[in-house]
Chain A
Amino acid sequence: MSEAFLYTVEVFLNGLMAGVLYALVALGFVLIYKASGIFNFAQGVMALFAAMTLVGFQNGQVPFAHLINATFGLHVTNFGWNLHSVVAVFLTVLVMILLAWAVQRFVFRHLVGQEPIILFMATIGLAYFLEGLADLMWGSEIKTLDLCWSAGHCLPQGGNFWIEDMTAGLGGEGFYGFFIDSLDIVAAVVAMVLVAALVAFAQYTKQGRAMRAVADDHQAALSVGVSLNFIWILVWSLAGFVALVAGIMWGAKSGVQFSLSLIALKALPVLMLGGFTSIPGAIVGGLIIGVGEKLFEFLIGAPFLGGATENWFAYMLALLFLVFRPQGLFGEKIIERV
Chain B
Amino acid sequence: MKMKFATMAVAAVMAAGPVMADLVFPSLSYRTGPYAASGIPFADGYADYFTLLNERDGGIGGAKIRVPECETGYNTEKGVECYESTKGEGALVYQPLSTGITYQLIPKATADGIPIHSMGYGRTSAANGKVFRDVFNYPANYWDGASGAINYLLDENGDDIKGKKIALVYHNSAYGKEPIRTLEELQKTHGFELTLLPVDHPGQEQKSQWLQIRREKPDYVIMWGWGVMNQVAIQEAVNIRYPMENFIGVWWSGSEADVIPAGAAANGYKALTFHGVGKDYPIYDDIQKYVVDTGKAAGAGDQIGTVQYNRGMYAAMLAAEAAKTAQEIHGTPDIDAKMMRDGMEALEITEAKMAALGLPNFGPEFKVSCEEHGGPGLVGVTQWDAAAGTWNVISDYKPTDRELISRLVAEDSAAYAAENNIEPGCN
Contact = CB atoms under 8 A, between A and B. Distances in A.
Given A157-B238, A254-B228, A297 B33 contact: no
What bracket does the count of chain A residues touching chain B fall in?
35 or more
B196 to A, nearest CB: 7
Contacts of B214: 176, 179
A7 B238 CA distance: 20
A145 B147 CA distance: 36
Nearest to B300: A66
Contacts of A7: 211, 215
A280 interface: no
Interface string A135-159: 1000111101000000000000111
Interface stretch (B123-131, B259-267, B341-349): B259-267
A203 interface: no
A77 B238 CA distance: 31
A130 to B, nearest CB: 13
Contact of B36 (A17, A135, A144): A135
A69 B300 contact: yes
Given A14-B207, A254-B231, A307-B196, A159 B239 contact: yes
Contacts of A73: 295
Contacts of B32: 131-132, 135, 140, 258
A229 interface: no
A263 B202 CA distance: 9
A179 B214 CA distance: 9
A250 B240 CA distance: 18
Interface in B1-46: 31-34, 36-37, 40
A253 interface: yes
B384 to A, nearest CB: 14
Contact of B240 (A66, A140, A141, A159): A159
B205 A142 contact: no
Interface string A259-303: 110110010000000000000000000000000001001100110
A257 interface: yes
Given A69-B300, A141-B257, A262-B34, A302 B227 contact: no
A109 B219 CA distance: 59
B65 interface: no
B207 A18 contact: yes
A144 B263 contact: yes
B234 to A, nearest CB: 10
Contact of A140 (B36, B200, B265): B36
Nearest to A311: B200
B109 to A, nearest CB: 28
What bracket does the count of chain B residues touching chain A fall in?
35 or more
A323 to B, nearest CB: 24
Given A73-B295, A140-B32, A159-B241, A257 B37 contact: yes
B235 interface: yes
B199 interface: yes
A306 B239 contact: no
A255 interface: yes
A140 B228 contact: no
Contact of A259 (B202, B263, B300, B302): B202
A173 B126 CA distance: 49
A258 B239 contact: no
Contact of B37 (A14, A142, A307): A142
User: Which applies to chain A's interface (DSSP): helix, strand, loop or mixed?
Assistant: helix
A139 B198 contact: no
B80 to A, nearest CB: 21
B204 A259 contact: yes
B208 interface: yes
Interface string B262-278: 01010000000000000
A189 B235 CA distance: 21
Contact of A250 (B204, B209, B241): B204
Contacts of B295: 73
A140 B260 contact: no
B239 A158 contact: yes
Given A14-B207, A18-B205, A144-B261, A259 B31 contact: no
Interface in A1-51: 7, 10-11, 14, 17-18
A308 interface: yes
Interface string B186-199: 00000000001111
Nearest to A131: B32
B205 to A, nearest CB: 7
A79 B125 CA distance: 51
Contacts of A262: 34, 202, 204
A296 to B, nearest CB: 10
B232 interface: yes
Closest 4 CB pairs of A and B: A255-B261, A140-B36, A259-B228, A308-B198
Interface of A: 7, 10-11, 14, 17-18, 65-66, 69, 73, 77, 131-132, 135, 139-142, 144, 157-159, 176, 179, 181, 250, 253-255, 257-260, 262-263, 266, 294, 297-298, 301-302, 306-308, 310-311
Given A157-B239, A307-B209, A308-B199, 19 more contacts: A11-B208, A77-B302, A135-B32, A140-B40, A144-B261, A158-B239, A179-B239, A181-B207, A254-B228, A255-B231, A255-B260, A257-B34, A257-B231, A259-B202, A266-B204, A294-B208, A298-B212, A307-B198, A308-B200
24 contacts: A7-B215, A18-B205, A142-B261, A144-B261, A144-B263, A157-B238, A158-B238, A159-B240, A159-B241, A176-B214, A179-B214, A179-B240, A250-B204, A253-B204, A254-B204, A255-B228, A255-B261, A257-B37, A257-B228, A258-B33, A259-B202, A298-B208, A298-B212, A308-B200
